[in-house]
Amino acid sequence: METTQDGLHSGEPCKPRPNAKRRFRPKTKTGCQTCRVRRVKCDEAKPSCNRCLSTGRVCDGYTSIFQVVTVGPSPPAITAQSSPPASLSIYQPGASTVSVDEINSLAHSFTAKYNHRNIGYHTEARTIPTKLSDPAIRHALISLQSLHHEFDARQQRYSHDDGNGGLVRIHHGLDAYNTSVTSLASRLGTSPTHESVCAALLCCQMFISIETMLGNYTAGMRHFIYGLRIMHQYRARPTVNLNGQLEPCNNVPLPALDCFLIKLFASGRPDAKPMPINRASDTNTGLFDISLQEQSRGELAALSSQVLEFLDQVSRMQTSRQVSDLEVSKSHILARLESWDWMYTQSLRTLLVAHQMPVGLKFGAIFTLLLHGVLKVVVSLAMSSSPADLDRVDTDFQNLTNISNAATEAKKAAAGRVI
């Protein structure tokens, strides 16, 4: 397909060139190193895949999905209060109790929005303090709290007279981010345990929040896709196999990363600051365009609530009757998402290529498409157990990546670097 300047695909299919050489694509994106080199399908068994063992080969293991990022210097103009956030002191391994106020403070740290009253992250906030003996989780939380404190300071327009205090917090937060990523990469690259898988999903939640604050939706979506693959591979919820038989989830529940992201995205655009649209003076933006976004977002918000309820029911699925009922619900939700796609997607994409389109409206259209893509891939993978199901949504993953790239670029155009 042809790609627009916003990183989104147009509707025209790409015509194959005559006598073009077929491009190699690996049979799996998550297989062991040996199978990837041999260009064969890997069964992805851990710590060594059965395909290698059955043929007498040495399985070279798996490449970690978490990679350390290189962080450039922060802009010197960004500073805030020099005192450390008071809430950081509570997040220490071995703490006996965590108060309600401390839980509320941590729940607020997951979002970069001004108005966070309707955002519920208390489940995540109650879980993380109990896992701080894990270094990856501990450093991810240090990063989240440090960067969110600086983010809050900028939103509240604190004085910029604290010297390099803001820069110190930013670099401290980014250093902790990379420390957490390094810890996860070393553990997941060998033989992952339930504890390391749980840590990876909890860290993904915090990584996504961090990247959202930074305005890097591309990296945030990468964490989500990796985390969703982990949830599928380790059966975070009960599934139904190819024979229609119910397969229970792991004995110890894994963090619901998909629910976390839906809540984050469905609660409104995660702008650091709302982008106003002048309805009276924008000659290139009619009230129809604004109404289109409001209507499409409203329908997606209702669908998001339905998807969250559906995922909760899947988590408690135990009988064949429940399987039958939930398969009907899944089909109904996917049909509604397809109907939404037919009604709104092309119109929203048209806004992206309109000349002199206000950047706030453009970003809103991109973000609405992003939420739709997230809902579609989450519902498509629900109840499924086969690795082939991940291959079937590969196009959806690529679509999410393209839209995330466009969101990142639109954010840069709207507000520059966030931190």
Q: What's the CA gap between 339 and 318, in Å, rounded?
A: 30
SS3 (DSSP) at 248: coil
Q: Which of 250, 256, 253 is nearest to 227 (CA)?
A: 256
SS3 (DSSP) at 28: coil
Quickly name the fold that domain 25-63 has.
CD2-Gal4 (4.10.240)
- Are 290 and 277 contacting, i.e. CB atoms less than 8 angstroms apart? yes
HSE-up of residue 245 (Cα within 13 Å, Cβ side):
2
Domain extents in the chain = 25-63, 67-214, 239-271+279-419
Report the pLDDT value the prediction gives residue 74, as an integer from 0 to 100.
42
Quote the crossing angle between the two packed helices 165-188 and 135-155, to the nearest 10°.
150
Q: What's the CA gap between 25 and 391, in Å, rounded?
A: 12
- Are 403 and 8 contacting, i.e. CB atoms less than 8 angstroms apart? yes
The residues, ordered by sequence, that sit 6+ positions from 396 with a Cβ below 8 Å of its Cβ are 373, 376, 377, 380
- Are 299 and 340 contacting, i.e. CB atoms less than 8 angstroms apart? yes
Please report where in the chains the tokens 């395909």 appear, as a residue. 51
**Alpha carbon 84 to chain centroid distance?**
28
- Per-residue confidence of the chain (419 residues) as pLDDT tens digits? 444 433 344 444 444 444 444 443 444 456 676 676 666 777 776 656 777 766 656 565 555 555 544 444 444 433 333 344 444 444 555 555 666 777 777 777 777 655 444 557 778 878 888 888 899 999 999 998 888 887 777 666 544 445 555 677 788 888 999 999 988 887 876 677 888 899 999 999 999 999 988 889 999 999 999 999 999 989 999 999 888 889 988 767 889 999 999 988 887 665 544 444 344 344 444 555 667 778 888 899 899 999 999 999 999 999 999 999 999 999 999 999 999 999 988 888 877 776 666 777 777 788 889 999 999 999 999 999 888 888 889 999 999 999 999 888 877 776 644 44
- Are 267 and 111 contacting, i.e. CB atoms less than 8 angstroms apart? yes
- How many other CB atoms are found less than 10 A from the CB of residue 76? 9
- Are 400 and 373 contacting, i.e. CB atoms less than 8 angstroms apart? yes
Report the pLDDT value the prediction gives residue 157, as an integer from 0 to 100.
52
SS3 (DSSP) at 246: strand
Q: Pairing state of beta strands 246-247 and 239-240?
A: antiparallel
Q: What's the CA gap between 116 and 58, in Å, rounded?
A: 52
Q: Which of 367, 397, 363 is nearest to 380 (CA)?
A: 397
The residues, ordered by sequence, that sit 6+ positions from 413 with a Cβ below 8 Å of its Cβ are 359
Examine residue 358 and say whether the peptide bond preceding it is cis (omega within 30 degrees of 0).
Answer: no
pTM of the model: 0.74
